[in-house]
Amino acid sequence: MRGWGHFIIVFALLVIPISFVSAEYSIDISGLKESYAVGEEINYKVLLLEDGGLIERNVEVIFLDDLGISEIKLNVESNEENTLKVSENFSSLGWSVKAKYEDKEVIRPFMVQENLEIEFVLDGENLIIKNKGNVRYTRTVQIQIGDETESYVQNIPVGGQKTWVLVAPQGDYDIKITDGTNTFTKKDVQLTSIGTGNAIGAMGEGQQITGLLGGPIDLEKMDESLISSNKSYVAITFICAVFGIGILLFIERRKEKK
């Protein structure tokens, strides 16, 4: 019996410590594609194994763009199918998805394709250009009022919009707005612009139209130009005055010597 007792003790000393050894985890993400379009769904599965066998656990998942601006945190079940829709606010950049469980984590990259989506809205005399895509809108937009057409370069950030006021002598006009790809038309739009003379076109915030088919003038820049011009005029006048006084003093001294 004493022999068996020693054997049991030795066996316990060898086996019991093994049960306290921490489990080995491995983690991965499957189902990802290289790139996705806006409106598409990302289907993925977080694979979590313990000592080589699949286990179900709650896992933290983070979707992050390469600039670190947009971040989406989720908690999902391991080894189950999950989906995330690529919405309009997914910027056109490189992205990555990170899955983490305890001290194990994995990161997998993917791309979001460019989505150039614009909306033209005509509200009375106001033309609103809304950037609903995931890239900056920098196209040239042609605005046709009646028989006259003018072009305006846009620079609208993602999620932003620009308002243009359509101006023309009072009357009803057929309106057409296009950037070559997107086109908006509306007939018999009543324009009642006041204080713009015979000008036909569009003006943005802080701008005004001058002359027939005159292009937009930035009032703020014009004011700065005037201020700069006034400063230059004062400086020149001061220099001339100092120079004149110097000449008069020189003449006076010459007279005194004579």
Question: What gap in Å lies between CA 163 and CA 149, rounded to an integer?
Answer: 18
Picking from 87, 205, 112, 91, the residue whose alpha carbon sits closest to that of residue 157 is 91
Name the strand (E) or helix (H) holding 244: helix 219-257
Question: What gap in Å lies between CA 122 and CA 189, rounded to an integer?
Answer: 9
Write out pLDDT tens, residues 75-131. Answer: 999 999 999 999 888 888 899 999 999 989 999 999 999 999 999 999 999 999 999
| pTM for this prediction | 0.61
Q: If you ran DSSP here, which 8-state letter would residue 27 be given?
A: E
Write out pLDDT tens, residues 145-162. Answer: 999 999 999 999 988 999
The strand pairing partners of 196, in sequence order, are: none
DSSP count for the chain of H helices, then E strands = 2, 19
Write out pLDDT tens, residues 61-76. Answer: 999 998 888 899 999 9
